[in-house]
Amino acid sequence: MRCTALATCAALALGTLGGAYAQDEPGRHWDGSHATPLHRLPVMDEENQKILPTYRDAMPISMRNTCGPCHNYETVSSGLHFNASQPGSDPGRAGEPWIWLDEQLGTQLPLSYRGWTGTWNPDDIGLTPWRFTQLFGRHLPGGDVAEPEDILADPNSRWDVSGVVEVNCMGCHNAAPDQDLSEWAKQIARENFRWAGTAASGLGRVGGMASRLPDFWNVHAGPNPDDAEYAVPPSVNYSATHFDDKGLAVFDISYKPLDKNCLQCHSASPVEARRWELDADVHTAAGMQCADCHRNGLDHNMVRGYETEAAERRDPSVSEFSCKGCHLGFPELENQSLMAAMGGRLGAPRPEHKGIPTVHFDKMSCTSCHSGPWPEDLPGLVRTSRANRLGIHGVAQWHTDEPRIAEPVFMKAEDGLLTPYRMMWPAFWARVEGETVTPVLPDDVAAAAAGILDAPQQIGAVLASMNTGLAAYAEIYPDDPGAEAVFLTPGKIYHLNIDGGLDVAPYSGDLPVPAGGRWAKEQDGQVVSLVNDFDADDEQLVLQEEERIFNVLDAIVTTVEWLAPYADPRGEPVASLGNKIFRRSADGYFEMTERTDGIVTDTFAWGWFNDGEIAPLVPEFMVRAIADTEGVAESINEEQMARVIAALSENARGQGDTSAEFAYLSSGKLFRLDASGAVIASDHKSAEPYAWALGHNVRPAAQSLGSRACTDCHAEDAPFYFGTIEPQGPLKTAAASIIPVHDLHGGDDDIYIQTSRFFKWLIIITMALLLIHIAGDLTRRALNKRAGRT
């Protein structure tokens, strides 16, 4: 591999072109045919044994041993998609990171092994290759960290059970319609790493889950004779239709990866966009494929296509596949390649840019005017395959709204050109030491955040219990129409949704709702009290209400274990009204006792009874939290954040670390607690947004910036200069500062604002003074005339 690289460099030093596209394995030169040869091959497993489709519980296909004999596996696996963690690999221009997302814990951490500024190296924050593969394997092409050389290096990993994820050649080159990213993601989620390629390619169906197998299981152990339902080892049933009579598989291989395969991992769509409204990139609309520009040789060192790539790779041939390379050419390369000098590759039209001052081409990238969505006052939000888990389909939706990524954001790139970017704001819990922040591992955050960040789940759990109680009651009184428990806060109503969370809607009904919220039921479209009105002083309750209260309490008691992970029961569930407490006795009967704390209430309430006191079913801060965050993009309020920071500190102190300070970073700010426990927000390098240049979708010239008039950009209300960017993050906070777009252009654009202000006031003040002078002169003349004076 190293020899290949050296040879490539030497060839480039001699000024040869096309080196990147002629690096076939020695002895296997391309014969010149443009046809893709039929791939009728023996399917080999990881032990390099031939697989026959008739085998029961057969091993999965090994790409290394099936494709490798003709296409050197080591060479391929040094390519762009497989070399992120390899020492000495070219990081290239900062690209889209892997974003470690935990919605409940409010974590959105940009990760990359390439060392791009603003990303975190997974190794540095304790994220092992095993965990990384579990998290991101759904969109990984295999190889690299997913295929470690030493599978025993990490004692907490289960590579021995799951197998490694080899480079998934079929993921890109399979032209058959049954290549399935969803199946791939499902197998990765089941820790069926070595089986994922087989299942995703449609070559066979994979059953079983490695994730349910004990650590000591390995692929040679075979089926589990003791468990045919749960801990079933993965196995493959090959599809006989893919094999011929000699047991050779016929692969439908495309030399150039088809767009449908690229887009599995490289899609991006505006949030809320309707599919039929969207245009493709103008190049693909014209019939081009991704691989027409994003080319590579056997080394899979794919052309990314940005303008400085050729210089970075010291490979002038790469320049032909940038915007300028194709559309304008590089006359300065005439001595090396006439074609490169001329441009116009694949019929690329030569733009006239009539009437546009040429300074634009010195100061701006092509993509500024031609790529991404048209700029709006506020950049739009976009979802991408890898960040938001797009393209994985099934009964359950896999995609996420988080992280929220803004585009287009115009910033000055490293090459000094104004360039459109996508931008996301890191959000994570961190240990603070001086100016250094280090992300806290999710397990530690989860331990500290238990009972704090799970407000929707806690309230959802109580609603589920109440629904169980109401259902039990309905079995006794079938004439009483069924009802659904709901929770109310001032102006809002919350229903339990199918995921155990809450759906929020506006509420403007007549039922009084205290600030601390109220449990109620929805019946026939009406929101009414969970229990009908009755007089607490009555010695005997109406039997129906007694049954209703009893069944709800009974349901809460019987589901208390299920509630436990979400809510600290803090005693015995009771209801109360006036000075009465209604409870379910230990032997399962309804009991009514008098309160001993002297409190008399005039509204019916539910709570936990402990030591003679009644506490609400869910803490009041959780009620405030859902009122703040349900139905909006943010998921954490500042009160929750302060509690988690305090809990992290408390846990650290419990482990003897008394000096540890913790913070939360979100929406471009670092939040910490002062000595009094108040939240203070400040700027911090690690809270700054991470941005990566966007290349697609390319718009046609008629829809590019400046096509209407200069004022597309050069106007006082043009979003290109005077739009704003609203930091996005899980935290609901007023501390996040709106960023004026011109602040990111790299110049001191405040001078524009100040100058504009100066001239506006100059006009107003000057004209006001002149008009006053005129008015004074006219008045005096009129008075003089009336007085008969000149």
Give the separation between CA 563 and CA 559, rounded to whole angstroms. 6
- Residue number with CB closer to another protein (256 or 363): 363
- Residue number with CB closer to another protein (357 or 565): 357
Q: Name the token pair of 464.
A: 């589920």
- Residue number with CB closer to another protein (193 or 721): 721
Q: How far is the CB of 309 from another protein (least distance, A)?
A: 24
- Residue number with CB closer to another protein (417 or 555): 417
Q: Name the token pair of 765.
A: 């003040």
Q: How far is the CB of 417 from another protein (least distance, A)?
A: 10
Q: How far is the CB of 764 from another protein (least distance, A)?
A: 10
Q: What is the DSSP string of 344-410?
A: -GGGPPPP--TT--THHHHHB-HHHHHBSSPP-SSPEEEEEHHHHTTT--SSS----SPSPEEEEEE
Q: How far is the CB of 778 from another protein (least distance, A)?
A: 7
Residues forming contacts to another protein in the complex (CB under 8 A) are 357-359, 362-363, 418, 708-711, 714-716, 721, 745, 747-749, 751-752, 755-756, 759-760, 762-763, 766-767, 770-771, 773-774, 776-781, 783, 790
Q: Which of 230, 233, 182 has the alpha carbon at shortest distance from 206?
A: 233
Q: Could you give the C-alpha distances from 536 to 448, 512, 602, in angstroms and in order?
A: 41, 19, 9
In the beta sheet, which residues pair with residue 204? 238
First-last CA distance in the chain: 103
Q: How far is the CB of 299 from another protein (least distance, A)?
A: 39
Q: How far is the CB of 312 from another protein (least distance, A)?
A: 24
The length of the chain is 790
CA angle centred on 708, ends 703 and 710, rounded to 5°: 120
Q: Name the token pair of 299.
A: 């080394």
Helix H or strand E encompassing 773: helix 750-786
Q: How far is the CB of 724 from another protein (least distance, A)?
A: 17
- Residue number with CB closer to another protein (639 or 749): 749
Q: How far is the CB of 310 from another protein (least distance, A)?
A: 25
Residues 144, 174 contacting (CB under 8 angstroms): no
Q: How far is the CB of 742 from another protein (least distance, A)?
A: 8
- Residue number with CB closer to another protein (54 or 755): 755
3-state secondary structure of 55: coil
- Residue number with CB closer to another protein (374 or 759): 759
**Could you tell me the maximum CA-CA distance found in the chain, to the nearest angstrom?**
125
In the beta sheet, which residues pair with residue 432? 437, 661
Q: Name the token pair of 484.
A: 């659904």
Q: How far is the CB of 757 from another protein (least distance, A)?
A: 10
- Residue number with CB closer to another protein (7 or 715): 715
Query: Which segments within 258-310 are labelled E, that is strand?
Result: 268-270
**What angle, rounded to 10 degrees, do the helices at 543-558 and 455-476 form?**
130
Say which amino acid occupies 703.
Q
- Residue number with CB closer to another protein (401 or 777): 777
Residues 422, 585 contacting (CB under 8 angstroms): no
Say which amino acid occupies 135.
L
- Residue number with CB closer to another protein (280 or 763): 763
Q: How far is the CB of 351 from another protein (least distance, A)?
A: 17
Give the separation between CA 201 and CA 205, rounded to whole angstroms. 9
Helix H or strand E encompassing 644: helix 638-654
**What angle, rounded to 10 degrees, do the helices at 638-654 and 620-629 form?**
130
Q: How far is the CB of 431 from another protein (least distance, A)?
A: 41
Q: Name the token pair of 587.
A: 């032997």
Query: Residue written as tokens 């199918």?
Result: 498
- Residue number with CB closer to another protein (426 or 706): 706
- Residue number with CB closer to another protein (244 or 716): 716
Q: How far is the CB of 698 from another protein (least distance, A)?
A: 23
Please, where are the H alpha helices in 485-634? 543-558, 560-563, 620-629
- Residue number with CB closer to another protein (534 or 752): 752
* Strand bridging mode 492-496 / 484-489: antiparallel
- Residue number with CB closer to another protein (92 or 746): 746
Give the separation between CA 575 and CA 614, rounded to whole angstroms. 9
Alpha carbons within 13 A on the beta-carbon side of 270: 19
- Residue number with CB closer to another protein (603 or 711): 711
Give the separation between CA 111 and CA 693, rounded to whole angstroms. 16
Alpha carbons within 13 A on the beta-carbon side of 728: 23
Q: How far is the CB of 11 from another protein (least distance, A)?
A: 37
Q: Name the token pair of 448.
A: 């500290």
Q: How far is the CB of 362 from another protein (least distance, A)?
A: 8
Say which amino acid occupies 487.
F
Q: Which of 262, 476, 374, 314 has the alpha carbon at shortest distance from 718?
A: 374
- Residue number with CB closer to another protein (30 or 758): 758
Q: How far is the CB of 770 from another protein (least distance, A)?
A: 4
Give the separation between CA 260 and CA 644, rounded to whole angstroms. 43
Q: Could you give the C-alpha distances from 224 to 209, 231, 364, 382, 440, in angstroms and in order?
A: 12, 7, 62, 45, 38
Query: Residue written as tokens 């090959």?
Result: 238
